[in-house]
């Protein structure tokens, strides 16, 4: 697929809870870019699969889901077959199962094609687990955000508590460590840092500090390239 090289692509990867989605969204607002939450796309497929009560380990059943689902973004809202599912895809049951769905080769092929199509004609910031290595391997800027499992679990605990879900830090830490394992060991486009990505540990940083760090890197590189 051809890409307009006058456009800019920014890839932000990292494990669950590293802050990549929030950082990507804020960075897109500052730069005036389109923000594409790839994780939300996989979560939407997972939500429909769970509602359909299919076996998540059945490739043919997943194929039937992903080949017929319509995923759209309306500003900061996520639509599944025209239904606003923005909050529903963040439910704990979806979080526990999304890695299984994202492992499926056909699911990834369909999602990646959609993501690359969007990035081919817009200035875009895309976050996920394999953006810099697989989806946008020629992205102009690549970042890989990390944080300790305990810190990521604490962030998730605060998010869930704010939405009225009850759980505990130990359970969430185990779930995050399992997601890391599944995402890193999957056969198709696993979670990995691209060789040319800049790694930033967000454990002790707040969102604004991370956004400012990325902006500084982008601006400094622009200055060098224009010199």
- The annotation places the binding site for ATP at 14-22
Q: Does residue 167 contact residue 160 with C-beta atoms inside 8 Å?
A: yes
Annotated binding-site positions: 14-22
Buried b (16+ CB within 10 A) or exposed e, 141-155: bbbbbbbbbebbbbb
Per-residue DSSP letters for 154-167? HHHHHHHHHTT---
Cα angle value 153/30/201 (rounded, 5°): 35
What angle in degrees, to the nearest 10, is found between the helix axes of 105-119 and 92-103? 90
Reported as half-sphere exposure (CB side, CA atoms, 13 A), residue 41 has a value of: 23
Q: How far apart are CA 90 and CA 77, in angstroms?
A: 12
Burial grade of 129 (CB within 10 A; 0-12, 13-18, 19 or more): buried
* Residue among 181, 48, 34 at smallest CA distance from 103: 181
Task: Give the integer Cα–Cα distance in Å for 175 and 24.
Answer: 23
């Amino acid at each position: 697929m051809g890409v307009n090289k006058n456009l800019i692509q920014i890839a932000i990867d990292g494990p669950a809870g590293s802050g990549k989605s929030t950082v990507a969204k804020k960075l897109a607002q500052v730069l005036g870019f389109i923000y594409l939450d790839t994780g939300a796309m996989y979560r939407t497929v997972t939500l429909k699969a769970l509602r359909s009560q299919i076996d998540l380990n059945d490739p043919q059943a997943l194929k039937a889901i992903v080949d017929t689902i319509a995923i759209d973004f309306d500003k900061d809202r996520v639509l599944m077959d025209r239904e606003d599912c923005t909050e529903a895809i963040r439910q704990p049951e979806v979080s526990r199962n999304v890695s299984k769905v994202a492992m499926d080769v056909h699911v990834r092929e369909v999602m990646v094609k959609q993501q690359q199509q969007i990035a081919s004609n817009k200035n875009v910031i895309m976050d996920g687990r394999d953006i810099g290595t697989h989806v946008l391997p020629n992205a102009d800027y690549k970042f890989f955000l990390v944080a300790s499992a305990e810190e990521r679990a604490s962030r998730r605990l605060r998010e869930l508590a704010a939405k009225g879900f009850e759980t505990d830090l130990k359970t969430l830490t185990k779930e995050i460590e399992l997601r890391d394992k599944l995402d890193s060991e999957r056969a198709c486009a696993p979670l990995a840092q691209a060789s040319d990505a800049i790694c930033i540990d967000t454990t002790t940083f707040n969102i604004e500090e991370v956004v400012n760090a990325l902006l500084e890197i982008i601006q400094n590189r622009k200055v060098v390239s224009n010199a």
